[in-house]
Structure formats: structure tokens, C-alpha cells
Structure 1
Amino acid sequence: MTDNPRPLPTVKPRHFPPPPPLVERTPGLWRRTPPAIFPPILGLFGLGLAWRTLAMQPGLAPAQPIGEAILGAVALLYAFALVAWLSKPLRRPGVIVEEIAVLPGRAGLAAMVLSLMLAGAALRPYAPGVALGLVAVALAALAGLGALIGWKLLTGPAEGRAVTPVFHLTYVGYILAPLTLVPLGYASVASGLFWATMAIAVLIWGASLWQIATRVPPAPLRPLLAIHVAPASLFATVGTLLGHPGLAAGFAILALVLIVVLAIKANWLLGTGFSPFWGALTFPLAAAATASILALGQPGLYIGAVLVIVASALNSWIAVKVLTLWAKGALGARTNAATV
């Protein structure tokens, strides 16, 4: 035997490639910015306006900085999100048609335009001219978006032409303009929008009620049913501004009834767990808070205050969840956002 041990044979190391990433990384900055970021931003704008309305009530002036701080922060967030999304059509304008081919894209783009209207309402006390300009641009953009979506639905497959709650955003969303127009003295224009959008909303409510009665909505789409609360709430708010207190109170009560029904059916409504569609819960809740405060007198003040507090928690939580998905790069894939 020898004192020198036999050398062990060398083992060639094997290469094990890392698993593919769970989150899609698209090359380039903002090439897949999802429109789904805008519904929760719309809800945050509504939350800020609800706090502003609450602070205008007797004895609640100390709460005024809360609403103004929220509106200022959300305006900056909206500006950033708007630039991020606009980088897509600036690279390739045809991407807009691809966005509206899917329901999250249609809802997101409508919320993007409506957020511009609420940005005007937020700026109205500070820069009336700028506020009026923003509302005018938003009205034109919403009309163009509505025409484009209508064309896409009519020329697309028949199964995609069903009426959805998102129709309220696209074709009734003009009702947000009077929040700025009435205080600036354009009451006649606001009145025309009020009555015209009310007729459209009634048609959408009727078609949606018929669809729910004949077939159960798919579970992932059920959170969108909360959007039905928003038109009723806004008709209450605008009706108060235009001097129709009875009509305003009726719509405010309708909005609260819908909220109670949805709350009772919460397990059915949200049974599939969190999804980007939860952004549809945010702006109706904030709108109902404002409507209660303005249209239902002293009882409405208490109801509205409770809804403002609930919306402060819920809207903020949903916005953080959705924007976190965007920051991680997962929101575009989950909502089938177009890529440039």
C-alpha cells in the first residue's frame, strides 16, 4: 500500500437554469402601463371631494385640510399615472383600440377620463379657468372614447355586446362635469347633462336588471356591479346643486339601498378574492358619501360621515393593492393590458 491516496475523479458540475420569472418584465419604460390603475385613482379623487363636502358642513371646518391634502396628493399621483399611460399611444396610437378590446381596458380608460373631470372639480376653488379647461377636454375625450368603444362593440363578436356596469362610466360619466360647471355659472349646460345622462342611466339600469334576472354574472365580474351605485349618487349630488331637492333625495336613498344590498351580498359579490376589478368599489362609495351629505339633511350628514370614514379605509387599501401590483409588473398581465 502507498501513503498517497488515489485522487478522486473530478465531477463535472451540472447547470441548472433558474426558473422563469413569475412576473412578466416587458422591455422599456411604461410599455405595458395598464389602464386598471385609474379606477382606484378615481376613487381617491372622490374620497377627497367627499372630505371637502363634509368639511363644508357647519362646525366641521377643522376637517378641511384633510380633503385638500388628499386632493393634492391624488392630483400628483394621477398626473404621474396619466403620463405613464400616454407614453403608449404616443409610441403607437393603435394601442388604444387594443386597450378597449378587453373589459378592464374599457373601464380603465373611462376612469382615466373621468379622473380628469374630478381633477377639474378639485382645482375649481383655486384655478377656475384651468378647471373649466380640464372639464372641457375631459368631455371631448369621453365622447371620443364612447364612440370608439361603441364602434368596437358593434363590429366585434355578438357575445361581447352585453350591457355591463362599465357603460355607466362611458356614457353616463358626463354627469361629473356639473360638479365644476354649476359653481362656475354654467347651470344651463349642467342641467342638460343632468337630464340626458339620467335617461341613459335608466336604460342601462333596466338592461342590467334584465340580464341579472336571466343569468347570473360570472363571479370575477361581480365587483363591477358596485358601479350601479355611482350614477344614483351623482344624480343626487348634481340634483342638489341644480335645485331639485326631492329628486336628489330620492336618488340618494336609491344609492344607499343599493349599497345595503351589495353589503348583504358581499360574499357573493367578492367571493373570488381580491382582483383589480375591486377598483370598481371605490368611486361609488365616495360618491354615495357626498350624495348623503348634500341631499339627505341632518340624517344624511351622519350617514355620509360614516361612509367617508369607511371609504377612507377601503379606497386607500384597494389603491395600494392595485398600485403595488403595477409596481411589481403583475397588473398588466392580470388585466391583459396592451403592450407597445
Structure 2
Amino acid sequence: MSKAPYFPPPPPTPEKTRLFQRTPPAIFPPIMGAFGLGLAWRRAADGFGVPDAFGDMILGAATILYLFCLVAYVMKLMQRPATFLEDLKILPGRAGIIAMVLSGYLMAATVVPFSTGLATVAFGLALAAHVVVVLRVAYSLITGPVEARSVTPVWHLIFVGFILSPLAALPLGFHIYSIAVFWISLAIALAIWGASLAQFIRADVPPPLRPLLAIHLAPASVLGPVAFLTGYVQIAYVLCVLAVVLLTLLVIRARWLTVAGFSPLWGAFTFPLAAFSTVMQITAVHTGSDILRIIAGLSLVAASLIIPPIAYKVLMMWSKGVLAVKTNAAQA
């Protein structure tokens, strides 16, 4: 007797998701790195005679990409505003949100040569958003469990990230504001470096989180240019030396930093490397040192070879729907 044919039931229809329902904040750190790369190439017009158009081309592409991703994230918030607080509770989300805000300062610095009005608007919006994020994170740290108060490199982005604002504020004429931000940011950065070092001595960093250690390079690499721009040249030289020391340590421990393999947290490598090239270029121009000029050129080439592939891989993960899952992004 023949066996009755078996017709399996159709697979369940997957739940339809709305557009940008789970936009992950992790898309923003590599975009911040792209802005940094464009600004580094813009600076190369003084140090290496590179045409301004090359840096502006990178900055234009970064601006378009940033605005698209910003709209995508805002549309997610419009569907369910509580996702903002949920993303802030998770380390990748927190790093992504603050990178989104800090990219606003970099966009303002990008457009200030072309439109001071537009740059002022971008600067003001970024500053307001930054204050909101800082207040919310500070509230969570104060009221949350003690275990959640451990220092992370992301604290540099949150609490020292204001140091990026003078890159736009100084050309806009906010000189006193920029000086105040410089000194406050320097004090906070020193405190975070000290606390992080003490914490690192007590306990090792889990392999998946090690790429975030590259963020420690960013404050020195941004404080240096702002110190030059505000006239604190001797302090700028000290910060330049500190940046060289930090980058040297990161290069020596590169294998240790990346032992867990590629992840969205590799976006933390992008902006610090671009910012390091910028501070080295400015220092080389001020000192006339050929050695610093070579270091600046090599770091700019390295940034140009490293940042685009990381940004591409992270954005491809987003397009395939993998990035939100890997970073546990909140869903609207």
C-alpha cells in the first residue's frame, strides 16, 4: 500500500516591520570617523599642499551619509520615543548615540567655511542634544546600581566630547566659550584617564570590549588642536606627546585589542586615528619638524586605509539587518 503524500505546512509569515523600526545607533561611530578623516585631509592643504577639494569631497559624502542616518534614527524615535532611553542603557547604543551627537559638531565645522548661519544652527542643535545626553547619562549613573558606574572609554565621548565644539565655535567667534570648554574638558579627560588606568590595573578588559580602548586617544588628539587654536602652544605640545604615547601603546597591543575579531565596536578605531593625524599635522606646521611631518603623513595614510573599510562593513551589517541584532538595538 503506497504511503500517503505529506504536504508540510507553509512557513509562518514573518512579522512585517516598519521602516527604520530598529535603526541601530552603532552606525554613527564610523560616520564620526569619516568626518574626522575629511577634516584631516582638509588640514593636509596646509601641511602637504593637498587641494582643499579632496577633503571637502570626503566631508560632503560624510555629511550626506550622516543626515540620512540621522533621519533614520529620528524616524525610529518618532515611532516610539522610549527607544532613546533603552539605547542609552546599552554600551554600544550609548557609544552610538553620543557619536551621533558629536558628529553634529563635526558637521558644523565642515560647513562653517561655506555658511556661518548653517554652521551656527548645526552647532546649537548639537550642543543642546549633547547636554541632554550628558544629563540623562549622569542621572542614570547616580540613580543606577553601583556596578553600572565603572569607568569606560565611552565616558570620554560623553563628558569630554564638548571639546569638539570649539572646532566650529572658534571660527564662529565664540572664543571665551571655547577657552572654558578647553579647560573643563582637559580636567575631565585627566580624571577619566586616571580612573581608567587604575581600573585597568585591577582587572583585565574582556576581548569584545577592547576596541573601545582606542577612544582614549581621542581626547589628546582633539585637545591638542584646540590648545593651538586658543593660544596654549606649550600645553598643545604636551598633549601631542601624550597622543604619540597613546597611539604607540595601541599599535604595540594591536593584536590584543583585536583578538575577538571584527565587530561593530571597531568603529571606535576610526575617529581617534583621524584626529591623531590632524594634531600631528598642526604640530608639524608649528614646529617645522620633518619627523613630525612624516608621522602626520603616515598616520593620514593609515587613517585613509583603515576608516573606509570599517565604515563600509558596519553599514553593510546595517543594510543586512545584522547590526541591530549584534548591538542589541532597541526596536520601536
2:8 aligned residue: 15
2:205 aligned residue: 217
Distance of 1:94 and 1:241 partners within structure 2 = 40
Correspondent of 2:49 among 35, 39, 60: 60
Superposition TM-score, scaled by structure 2 size:
0.95
2:303 aligned residue: 311
Correspondent of 2:19 among 19, 26, 29: 29
Q: 1:204 to 1:279 in 2, by over 3 A?
A: same
Q: 1:26 to 1:108 in 2, by over 3 A?
A: farther
1:272 aligned residue: 260
1:3 aligned residue: none
8 Å Cα contact 1:237/1:248 also seen in 2:
yes
1:329 aligned residue: 321
CA shift for structure 1 position 14: 4.5
**Larger deviation: 9-18 or 257-266?**
9-18
Mapped pair 1:136 → 2:124: yes
Distance of 1:102 and 1:230 partners within structure 2 = 21
Distance of 1:108 and 1:264 partners within structure 2 = 27
CA shift for structure 1 position 16: 7.8
Distance of 1:147 and 1:107 partners within structure 2 = 15
2:41 aligned residue: 51
Mapped pair 1:102 → 2:90: yes
CA shift for structure 1 position 169: 0.5
2:145 aligned residue: 157
**Larger deviation: 148-157 or 267-276?**
148-157
Map 1:158-197 to 2 at 5 A: 158-197=146-185
Correspondent of 1:302 among 273, 294, 304: 294
Distance of 1:175 and 1:25 partners within structure 2 = 44
Letter in 2 for 1:217: V
Aligned to 1:90, the other structure's residue is in SS state helix
CA shift for structure 1 position 72: 0.3
Distance of 1:207 and 1:40 partners within structure 2 = 26
The unaligned stretches of length 5 or more in structure 1 are 1-7
Aligned pair count reads: 328
Aligned to 1:56, the other structure's residue is in SS state helix
Correspondent of 1:124 among 89, 112, 119: 112
Distance of 1:263 and 1:87 partners within structure 2 = 39
Superposition TM-score, scaled by structure 1 size:
0.92
The unaligned stretches of length 5 or more in structure 2 are none
Mapped pair 1:289 → 2:277: yes
Letter in 1 for 2:310: I
Deviations 1:158-178 (A, max 9, x none): 211101000010110010111
Distance of 2:2 and 2:193 partners within structure 1 = 78
Mapped pair 1:41 → 2:31: yes
Mapped pair 1:252 → 2:244: no
Distance of 1:26 and 1:10 partners within structure 2 = 38
CA shift for structure 1 position 17: 6.5
Deviations 1:112-133 (A, max 9, x none): 0000100000001001121122
CA shift for structure 1 position 10: 5.9
Percent of aligned pairs with the same residue? 46
CA shift for structure 1 position 9: 3.2
Distance of 1:159 and 1:152 partners within structure 2 = 12
Cα RMSD over matched residues? 1.8
Letter in 2 for 1:321: K
Deviations 1:23-53 (A, max 9, x none): x986110000000000000000000000000
Q: 1:183 to 1:220 in 2, by over 3 A?
A: same
Distance of 2:59 and 2:216 partners within structure 1 = 24
